[in-house]
Structure 1
Amino acid sequence: MSAVGRALSVLDVFADGSASLRLTTIAARSSLPLPTALRLVRELVAWGGLERQADGSYRLGTRLWVLGGQVPCQRRLTDAAQPYLRGLRTATGRAVALTSLDGNRLLVVDELGAAVSRGSHLPLHATAAGKLFLAHGPDALRQQVLSDLVRVTPYTVTAPGLLHRQFADIRGGSLAIAKEERRLGEVEIAAPVGPTSDGGPAAALSVTAPSVPAARRAMPLLAATAAALTAHLTPSISG
């Protein structure tokens, strides 16, 4: 493996959403000898790709976030969505987020008031937005995710049959909902933003509320905002 490949393998160990990792864990996950991992980690810290924390662990550095924000399609989506996020946050008084599909996980593109930060990865099956992408996505994605359903909270739906029924409702036009499935005390609802050229949503707009009644009250505002953002993006979103 080249030097660049080894450095990328160090960064890639954070792909599961780990907030911070010890050097020994980084070395083990990247299959690198400890001295090699230490040298690469130090170089990445100097460059800004990693940051060393007070307890000696490492987390992804802000330079990666700055670079990621320059990706044209992602930046266009984020810039266009910001006023809609602010409007939805003001209208509902709830946490809101813009997410997209990243492989077999959900990527938080932007958020206001949410308990997750931009750049975080979340499980598809335990989130309302993730269920949108699963409902409209290819069979291969559904099969991959549904073959390994992890119970995140006691309320996470892990029965494939029930999830398939929810997916059918979503394809029929219902908003997606996750009732305390990722985090206790949080009910998420999500609406699609798009579609892309393949017919699935390009992104998802979500609202997090403390109860099902509160979430249902926010549904009309969420649906209207997602439709308005879709209309705004329609000329360019598939590109």
Structure 2
Amino acid sequence: MGRAFSILDAFAGGTPSLRLTAIAERADLPLPTALRLVRELVAWGGLQRQSDGSYRLGSRLWTLGGQAPCQRRLVETGRPVLHGLSRETGLPVLLAALDGSRLVVLDGADAGAGTAVRPGTMLPLHATAAGKVLLAYLPDSRRRQLLTDLVRLTPHTLTAPGLLDRQLAAIRAGAPASAWEEWHLGENEVAVPVDPFAVHGPEAALAVTARSAAQARRVLPLLARAALTISAGLRPSGQATACATRAGEPR
């Protein structure tokens, strides 16, 4: 069972798909063993084989994760807000949460092109605006642990912990998070926290992806308003604080 978990952990850090050889290398397993485990996970639904021969996380993992009360409540509360914001801006919108050391997309909407990020997709924390929001509010020791050996995904990805730390400090002080072509070239993101005043920090981040930094900045007031709407919807039950208590804890 532990070796199967190592296969799934190979996708941590925001890698959407991997070849078998990369999975075996990341999981530190012999290629025949990795192949056997990958086939078992595909049969179970934990992995999905794509047309180019690579593998991505399967829908069954998302289905199981979505049954957790905190994530389910976030999705149910946020979905109409996401779709409304996407229609208003014509841009892709996503809601993401921290799951241990990973940033996981809970839901997405794109009224403009129908290309919303798939729920269950894992994104890099350091190279996305949503990831920076959630990194900013983590305890110092946990944040330092996650900011080691940062991978440069584009020429614009910040990999110097000192530079990133300064951005995260500004986010904690109330500034929106941004990622200018740091994950994918041509994608400029801004993000704000959901329920930032929860005792243990925000449990999720709401982000918009635009074609230019200027376009992203223009939608910031609408993004902030949408995040407040989701936060208000979470507050009455008191569950937001309970969920946030666990958001930054390693699993």
TM-score calculated relative to the size of structure 1: 0.85
SS in 2 for 1:206: strand
User: Contact 1:196/1:237 (CA < 8 Å) preserved in 2?
Assistant: no
1:55 CA displacement: 4.8
Aligned partner of 2:88 among 65, 86, 91: 91
SS in 1 for 2:239: coil
Aligned residues: 236
Q: State the Cα deviation string for residues 161-194 of structure 1 (Å, max 9, x = none).
A: 3323322321221111111221212211111102
Which residue of structure 1 lines up, in the alignment, with residue 219 of structure 2?
Answer: 218
Higher CA-based Rg: 1
Q: Distance in 2 between matches of 1:212 and 1:55?
A: 33
1:236 CA displacement: 2.1
Matched AA of 1:51: Q
Q: Distance in 1 between matches of 2:151 and 2:31?
A: 31
1:226 CA displacement: 0.5
Q: Distance in 1 between matches of 2:17 and 2:157?
A: 25
When residues 22 and 154 of structure 1 are mapped into structure 2, their CA distance, relative to the original with a 3 A threshold, is: closer
Q: Distance in 1 between matches of 2:55 and 2:163?
A: 39
User: Contact 2:94/2:117 (CA < 8 Å) preserved in 1?
Assistant: no
SS in 2 for 1:238: helix
Give the share of equivalent positions with the same residue, in percent: 61
When residues 33 and 149 of structure 1 are mapped into structure 2, their CA distance, relative to the original with a 3 A threshold, is: closer
Structure 2 alignment gaps of length 5 or more: 243-251
User: Contact 2:47/2:58 (CA < 8 Å) preserved in 1?
Assistant: yes
Which residue of structure 2 lines up, in the alignment, with residue 144 of structure 1?
Answer: 145
Which residue of structure 1 lines up, in the alignment, with residue 65 of structure 2?
Answer: 68
Residue range with higher mean Cα deviation, 92-101 or 148-157: 148-157
Which residue of structure 1 lines up, in the alignment, with residue 157 of structure 2?
Answer: 156
Q: Distance in 1 between matches of 2:177 and 2:41?
A: 40
Which residue of structure 2 lines up, in the alignment, with residue 8 of structure 1?
Answer: 5
Residue range with higher mean Cα deviation, 185-194 or 57-66: 57-66
Q: Distance in 2 between matches of 1:228 and 1:207?
A: 16
Q: Distance in 1 between matches of 2:169 and 2:34?
A: 46
User: Contact 1:106/1:124 (CA < 8 Å) preserved in 2?
Assistant: yes
Which residue of structure 1 lines up, in the alignment, with residue 167 of structure 2?
Answer: 166
1:72 CA displacement: 1.8
Which residue of structure 2 lines up, in the alignment, with residue 123 of structure 1?
Answer: 124
TM-score calculated relative to the size of structure 2: 0.82
User: Contact 2:200/2:241 (CA < 8 Å) preserved in 1?
Assistant: no
Q: Distance in 2 between matches of 1:160 and 1:5?
A: 32
Matches within 5 A, 1:8-27: 8-27=5-24
RMSD: 2.4
When residues 154 and 136 of structure 1 are mapped into structure 2, their CA distance, relative to the original with a 3 A threshold, is: same
Higher RCO structure, 1 or 2 (CA under 8 Å, sep 6+):
2
When residues 75 and 159 of structure 1 are mapped into structure 2, their CA distance, relative to the original with a 3 A threshold, is: same
Matched AA of 1:211: S
